Chains A and B, each alone.
Chain A
Amino acid sequence: MSGRRAGLQVRRPGTLRTVAVLVRRDARIALGGVDGFASVLPFVAAGVVLAGLVLGPDPAALRTTAPGLVWLLVLTAAVPLARLVAAAERDEDSWDMLRGLVPPGVLLLAKAVVLWGALAVTWSTGTLLAVLLLDGAVTVAGCAAAVLGLVGVAASLTVFGALLAASARGAGLLAALVLPAGLPALLAGTQAGVADEPWPWLALLVAYDLVAGATSWAVFPFLLEE
């Protein structure tokens, strides 16, 4: 296995090149495609506006709930974003070819990078809206928690996205898997932004990234063989 991969790497473009090509292609889908920001960002905006309506008008209540609300919206938005894992390939009908060409680890890396970017944009949009509409606050620790927490979410989401890449069924099931898998990010991401002492929460997020990354890497190849 390792020999085969080493042999392939001599003839093929470098890992970074492959990742860059894949990321560029998927980023275009995220920016312009129906599975990308076109559906997710309006959803997050609607979530923040409706939360202001039902949780208001007490500004203190809005301020308290804002960070957790943003994370909950990001995790919910992650469910449709998981379609990005194979969106470009579905359009071109090239998923089978791609997983034959690119080693699983490289594919996982590329797809997770795209999802991380998409999730980061979603979180930033949600946070910006929460600051504008719900009187929320942005802290350095909160942003660091988003950077760290979304790594683990993106890794798990890539696995779940690949799980559904070849099947039209089970979109609702994805939500049942993604929300629990994102629980550490939801909890620690929310708390790190508001706690006096953010370090333990950031440490929890690093631990989460470590476990989610390693597990995703371990099971991802099995989801690619069809």
Chain B
Amino acid sequence: MTRPAQRRRTLSLRLLVVVGAVGGALALLGVSGLADTLVYYRTPTELLAEPPPEDERLRLGGLVQVGSLERVGSEARFAVTDGVATLPVVYSGALPAVFAEGQGAVVEGWLGGDGVFVGDLVLVKHSNEYRPVGEAG
């Protein structure tokens, strides 16, 4: 037990078991459908399929539909889409500088009874793509 060679053999067996357990855990997580459970935001399709209670605060995420953004005074109206369903959003406040049509956004707020999402915080969700100016993705 005190010799390094012996310790190495014992330890490599133990490490092998740990690596096996981590691999098994990763495989289990892969098939468990966990991706749909811990969500930072919900998509318009999900919100329309399962309307939340009216006073529940939640986050709506998706792409800002091209051509939907209009500003009236300090109020902004736009639509958030996931390609399948679209939800109209009303937001009063300053939009982030990077906010643009066709880009990802997450809106915090409530889904009103009239089907309009009332937001009080807009976050821009940028993609993992990095392209220079003037070169379309």
Q: Which residues of A contact B (CB under 8 A)?
A: 1, 4, 187, 191, 195, 197, 199-201, 203-204, 206-208, 210-211, 213-215, 217-219
CB of A214 within 8 A of CB of B34, answer: no
Question: Which residues of A are found within 8 Å of B34, using beta-carbon distances?
Answer: 200-201, 203-204
Residue total for B at the interface (Cβ-Cβ under 8 A)? 22
Q: Which residues of B contact A (CB under 8 A)?
A: 1, 6, 10, 14-15, 17-18, 20-22, 24-26, 28-29, 31-34, 36-38
A3 to chain B, nearest CB (A): 11
Q: How far is the CA of A187 from the CA of B1 in the complex (A)?
A: 40
CB of B14 within 8 A of CB of A199, answer: no
Question: Which residues of A are found within 8 Å of B21, using beta-carbon distances?
Answer: 210-211, 213-215
Question: Which residues of A are found within 8 Å of B28, using beta-carbon distances?
Answer: 203, 206-207, 210
Partner of A203, one of B1, B14, B20, B32: B32
Q: How far is the CA of A208 from the CA of B26 in the complex (A)?
A: 10
Asked, given contacts A1-B6, A206-B28, A218-B14, whether A211 binds B37 with beta carbons under 8 Å apart, the answer is: no
Question: Which residues of B are found within 8 Å of A210, using beta-carbon distances?
Answer: 21, 24-25, 28
Q: How far is the CA of A191 from the CA of B38 in the complex (A)?
A: 9
Q: How far is the CA of A1 from the CA of B38 in the complex (A)?
A: 44
Question: Which residues of A are found within 8 Å of B37, using beta-carbon distances?
Answer: 191, 195, 197, 200-201
Q: How many pairs of A and B residues are in contact by the CB < 8 Å rule?
A: 58
Majority DSSP secondary structure for residues of A touching B: helix
CB of B29 within 8 A of CB of A203, answer: yes
Partner of A204, one of B6, B14, B18, B32: B32
Question: Which residues of B are found within 8 Å of A204, using beta-carbon distances?
Answer: 29, 32, 34
Q: How far is the CA of A62 from the CA of B105 in the complex (A)?
A: 31
Q: How far is the CA of A187 from the CA of B28 in the complex (A)?
A: 17
CB of B36 within 8 A of CB of A211, answer: no
Question: Which residues of B are found within 8 Å of A4, using beta-carbon distances?
Answer: 1
B15 to chain A, nearest CB (A): 7
Identify 5 residue pairs between A and B in the complex whose beta-carbon atoms are under 8 Å apart, listed by A's number. A1-B10, A200-B33, A203-B29, A213-B21, A215-B18
Q: How far is the CA of A187 from the CA of B34 in the complex (A)?
A: 12
Q: A197-B37, A203-B29 are in contact. List 5 more A-B contacts (CB 8 A).
A: A4-B1, A199-B32, A201-B34, A206-B28, A214-B17
Q: How far is the CA of A200 from the CA of B26 in the complex (A)?
A: 13
9 shortest interchain CB distances as A-B pairs: A214-B21, A203-B32, A207-B25, A218-B14, A200-B34, A207-B28, A200-B37, A200-B32, A210-B21
